[in-house]
Amino acid sequence: MPATKTYVRTDEHDVMRVGDTRVPLESIVYPFREGRSPESIRQSFAALTLEDVYGAIAFYLANRDEVDTYVARQEALVERLRAEQDRNPSPVVERLRAANAARARNAP
């Protein structure tokens, strides 16, 4: 009997990934919630097969509460990281902001 295929796994950073790829599950969930077809979602990810996309969607539908909680947690993490980055921008970001401000001051 062949081994059962896993369509969603949780990596060492507690990120849900599609199959053996680095594609996060929310990259499939968001467009699916927006009404996109599995075929159109697949076109956005060269690393995924159509079977992977359908498997991830089936996992989402079977575990909706768990996945919705996970997605909300990921969204909160992204917001915290963005806020931290805004409070403490890297030197590169500071230089880009200064260059943009100088360009805006010199614009006709």
- Tell me the mean pLDDT per 10 residues along the chain, length 108: 86 95 97 98 97 98 97 94 90 87 84
**79-84: which pairs have CB atoms within 8 A and are 24 or more residues apart?**
none
Alpha carbons 55 and 40: distance in angstroms, whole number: 15
What pLDDT is stored for residue 16 in this prediction?
97
Domain count, the chain: 1
Q: Give the CATH number, domain containing residue 34.
A: 1.10.10.10
Instruction: Determine, yes or no, domain membership for 69.
Output: yes
Q: Which domain range does residue 88 map to?
A: 8-106
Decide if 52 is inside a domain. yes
pLDDT at 90: 87
pLDDT score of 103: 87
